[in-house]
Structure formats: C-alpha cells, structure tokens
Amino acid sequence: MNTGSFSSLEGHFAAFLLRLSGQAGPELDLAARLLTRQMAQGHICLDLEEFAGREVPLTEGQTLTCPGLDTWLDRLGNSGVAGEPGQWRPLILEPPLLYLQLYWQYERQVADFILARSSLGPPAPAEGLEENLSRLFPRPAGAVGDEPDWQREAARKALASRFCVITGGPGTGKTTTVARILALYLQLRGEEAADRIFLAAPTGKAAARLQEAIRHAKLGLDCAPGLRALIPESALTLHRLLGATGRGSRYHGGNKLPAGLVVVDEASMVDLPLMAWLMAALPEDCVLILLGDRNQLASVQPGAVLGDICQGLRDGGMSQSLAELHRSYRFAGSSGIGRLSRAVNDGDGEAALAVLTDESCADVRWLEMEGEAGGFQQRIVARLARHHQRIMQAATPEQALQHMGEFAVLAALRRGACGVEAINRLASELLAPRDALAFPGRPVMVSRNHYGLQLYNGDTGLILPDQEADSELRVFFPSEDGVRKLLPARLPEHETAFALTVHKSQGSEFDRVVLLLPAEPSPVLSRELLYTGITRAVKSVEIWGSRKVFVEAVGSRIRRRSGLVRALVKEKPPGC
C-alpha cells in the first residue's frame, strides 16, 4: 500500500467534496483523499476500519491521524455528501466500506445479476442431458481410479442455471469444455438457438485465441456434422460485442443484446465497470459463462472481479454456479512449468526456486542477474534480434504474426534497467533504420481504444512491407478473416512491443518466455504476477532475476478491497 504524501489529484477531489458539503473537517478530507488513492491502486472502495486511528502523511513532513472508526462513520454520515445504499450522494457508506456512488452501483449490479441468475432454472430441457453428457464427455484417457471428470461436471453446472464460472489453470481444458457445452446446448435447445450464442474476450488477442481454440475443439466433437457446423467460431472483444462507440454502447440496460448464451474467456482481465456493463446488457433468459484462471493477475483497472466472484460463490453456498478444473492436459506431473506454477501459487518461494534450478526440468531455467545492467540487456536484445529475423523471413503477414507468438520477453516493471521501456528502446535502436518510428518488423500494442478503427487496448500488430502496395509499410493486425491492415499514420495511441509487461501479456500465450525481474524488491511484484508470467509459456520459461527478490515476490499476495464477496454471501438466494 502506498503511504506517501497525497497527490494534487487527491487533494483536489477532497476540496471538491468539502465545498459540496459546506463543512470543514479532517474526517471527510482524509476519507476523500484515501478513497481516491485506493481506487488508483485498483481497489473498489476504502476500508475505513483499515485506516482508523492510523497516521498518514499529508504533505512533506506533515502527518494526520485518522479518526476512530465510530467517529469517522458518524462525521461522514452527517457530511451531506455520503449516503446510505440507495441514496443519491457522491459517496456511499456501507460500513466500514466507503465507495464512490458509481462504483457502488457497478458492484451492486454485478452482485444482483449473479444472485438472480444463479437461482433461475436450467436454460435447456433436462431430457437427454445425461445421455449427451456421456457421449460428449467420455472418460478421459489416463484417468485414475474414481477421479471426477471435472470437465463433465463443469458442463452439468453450466446448464443447470443462467450463470456459471469455469475456472482452472493453463491447459485444464476450459475452451475444450466450452465447445462441448455449446454442442450440448444446441442439442437440447435446437438449431435455432445457434444465432443467439456469442463468444467474447477482453482483448483482440484473447478473442483470437478463443476463436482458434473453439475451432480446433470442434473437430474432435462426437456429434452430427450439421450440429458441429452450427457451433459458432467467431469471437469478439467485449467492446465490440456491446457496440461501444466512445459515447456509450449500442447494447445496455435499455436495449438488450439479442443473446441466449454468452461465453467470456480470460474473465480475470475484466474490470468491474466492464463486467457491470456486460451484465446489464444481457436479457433475463440469457446464460452467462465466465472462463478464466482465478489465480492470475486481476484487471489493470479497479477490481479483482473474477477472484471475488469465485470466492463469493464458494463462501455463499452457490457452488452450483462454480466449476473448477483441476487436471492439466498441457503440463504433465513432471513438467517443470507445471511444478513451478504450482509452487508459486502455493506461496512456496524456496520450492519454486528449487524447480527452476533443477537440471532435470528442461522446460524451466533460472538465470541469476549479476553485475552491470548492460550485460544482461545486451543478451536479451540479442535474443529479440534473432526473433525479429525469423519474423522478417515469414512468407506472409499471417505467418509473421504467428511467429510473434513463438517468443516473448515479459517484464514485471515498465521502468528501470529491467523494464519494458529500456528493453524496447534498446531493441529499436538496434533494429530501426535511422531512428525510424515505423520500420519493418516493429511490433506494436494499442494502448487506447479506437472505436472507429475497432482497435482496442491490448491489441497487437506488426509493421511490415505490403506486397500489395509496392512494399510500402502497413500495420497488420490479426482478424477473423486472417489479417487486416492500415497505414502506420492511422495507428491510435500505441507503444513498441518487443517486450511486454506481464499485465499486458494477459490473454496471450507464447512458446518460449523470458521473464525479467528487477534487481530490487518492488510493490508491483507479487505471487499473482509471477504465476501469470510463468503460465504465458507453453514450452519453456526462463526467469532472470535475484533469488531474494524472487522468493519475496512469491510470498507477496495482492489484495484488492471490495464488497462483492460480502454482497454475494450476505444475500445468497434461498436454499443455498
């Protein structure tokens, strides 16, 4: 938690609320400043109990002591700008939590949606369910004893109510399970239901991966060819699904999406506002299935929505809406990546380090970074240069974009010798002719949504000569039909992407990954960040860093404050 002096933004927001209130006093001033800071750090609300009675820095050399909890709640309640749930005030008090009105509404909408949908009956007739489950989910090869078929249980739960979360680590078959659920849904509901099925993901890269995974999974389905052909393959970003324009969305609470079933992959990346907008846009008879790994990093924007939903469903006795896949089909029990990710997830830094340094684990490697930064920077840039050369040897833009997925350099931080800014600058200096901004083989990542171009934050592309335009440079992005291209000058706000932050890599997979850690501990480093970076790798992962920093990071967990778990547990449907 950042406990430095308050910023000017925090001070301006506090001053605004004090003017609205017409009352002077440290209670509202401190609450407004702390709430602004907490939200900037990804929290949904301010837990007043956490700060009550504590000293906090106000300006350089000046501190203030937060009031006791009862006094603080009383003064805020009488300030005129903080109200109870349902009142129209800038701030909402749900003791001991303090929210901005808008974010309290977002959280309430998500909770209400889950509570309502989890209590509704199945979306399809139960007749023939078990027979179709047996056909679509035969006993897995290699299953041991009475081990449950987790995928089959997930399908049963997904069709038992109008809301379900399917969570599991990499390679546990989340998208394979969904492909079978879609076949089962169509078998039970009829062919006419196909037009009301939508697949979505938070980013273009994640949507493309979902599309590819569904297309591949369809091929192995035990169902009639006609039914298989009806299973949709096209996946959209959530912004495109909702018809977002920058001035609003085509689909919202007053104009529902014509959907009967919506599947959202990489749901851990979805922040609270976007989840609330999606849920508001779905008609009452629509089924929502969220796929994701609850152990991954939460969204960049406020909230840890998937993790909170999973905990709320479990603690609230709504396990009928939560399915966890435990068996990894990608990483065998002896896999170094599998063992490493489990050790990190368990918070055992020494065990994780032991896996990394175990010579029998050929798919993981530890490199202790010692000496001057220039040495390891040169090594990583040389790796990137070889990867760049392979991309430039591709016969087509489609093949070049595929080669991009073979190798990635991921960093925990943006700044510093081990940060993406330094690595991207050095790689560009080596590979760009005459400091050109647009050069062949430059990977780019969109950093701001552009609704007109249908390019969204996190979409990745590649600058290449266009053989259809006398080898003039174009930016190529993957699309449903292969690739699409545009002039470099038309690119919305973007950045060079030879190296990516772990946050920006979410929703992507790469054959080989190098994960760079800073030389010194950082608040950004956490168990979730390491787990996310490691599990981006399919074939091998290298971690470059300091043993001390690595072990400390494994022991550090991210905790984002919200009231979503409490809302789900407190108001669980009858009978749960």
- Give pLDDT, residue 203: 84
Instruction: Tell whether 181 and 252 lie within a shared domain.
Output: yes
Task: Give, to the nearest 10 degrees, the angle between helix 8-21 and helix 26-40.
Answer: 140
Residue at 314 is within a domain: yes
Cβ burial, residue 519 (10 Å; 0-12/13-18/19+): middle
- To the question of pTM greater than 0.75 for the whole model, the response is yes
**pLDDT higher at 269 or 374:** 269
Residue at 364 is within a domain: no
Q: Total domain count for the chain? A: 3
pLDDT at 3 over 60: no
Instruction: Tell whether 133 and 15 lie within a shared domain.
Output: no
What residue spans of 357-501 are helical by DSSP H? 373-392, 397-404, 420-431
Q: Residue 16 sits in which domain range?
A: 8-95
Residue 104: CB atoms within 10 Å = 23
Residue at 347 is within a domain: no
The percent of residues above 70 in pLDDT, for the chain, comes to 95
Instruction: Tell whether 260 and 295 lie within a shared domain.
Output: yes
Residue 251: give its domain's CATH number: 3.40.50.300
What burial letters (b/e) apply to 259-288, b meaning 16+ CB within 10 Å?
Answer: bbbbbbbbbbbbbbbbbbbbbbbbeeebbb
The mean pLDDT value for 374-384 works out to: 88
Question: What is the rounded distance in angstroms from the CA atom of residue 186 to the CA atom of residue 153?
Answer: 18
Per-residue HEC secondary structure of 113-151 comes to HHHHHHCCCCCCCCCCHHHHHHHHCCCCCCCCCCCCCHH
Instruction: Tell whether 425 and 449 lie within a shared domain.
Output: yes
| Res. 168 pLDDT band, cuts 50 70 90 | very high
**pLDDT higher at 445 or 208:** 445
- Give pLDDT, residue 2: 47
The percent of residues above 90 in pLDDT, for the chain, comes to 66
Residue 291 parent element (H or E): strand 287-292
- Give pLDDT, residue 544: 95
Least confident stretch, 69-83, 139-153, 486-500, 515-529 = 139-153
- Give pLDDT, residue 253: 93
Instruction: Tell whether 71 and 184 lie within a shared domain.
Output: no
- Give pLDDT, residue 373: 67
Instruction: Tell whether 82 and 23 lie within a shared domain.
Output: yes
DSSP code at position 68: P
pLDDT at 547 over 90: yes
Instruction: Tell whether 66 and 127 lie within a shared domain.
Output: no
Instruction: Tell whether 131 and 275 lie within a shared domain.
Output: yes
- Give pLDDT, residue 355: 95
Instruction: Tell whether 179 and 250 lie within a shared domain.
Output: yes
Q: Of 35, 62, 95, which marks where a domain is finished?
A: 95
- Give pLDDT, residue 367: 93
Instruction: Tell whether 320 and 390 lie within a shared domain.
Output: no
- Give pLDDT, residue 374: 67
Residue 24 CB partners (closer than 8 Å, separation 6+): 18
Least confident stretch, 366-370, 373-377, 398-402, 428-432 = 373-377
Question: What is the rounded distance in angstroms from the CA atom of residue 28 to the CA atom of residue 17?
Answer: 8
Instruction: Tell whether 74 and 122 lie within a shared domain.
Output: no
Instruction: Tell whether 57 and 158 lie within a shared domain.
Output: no
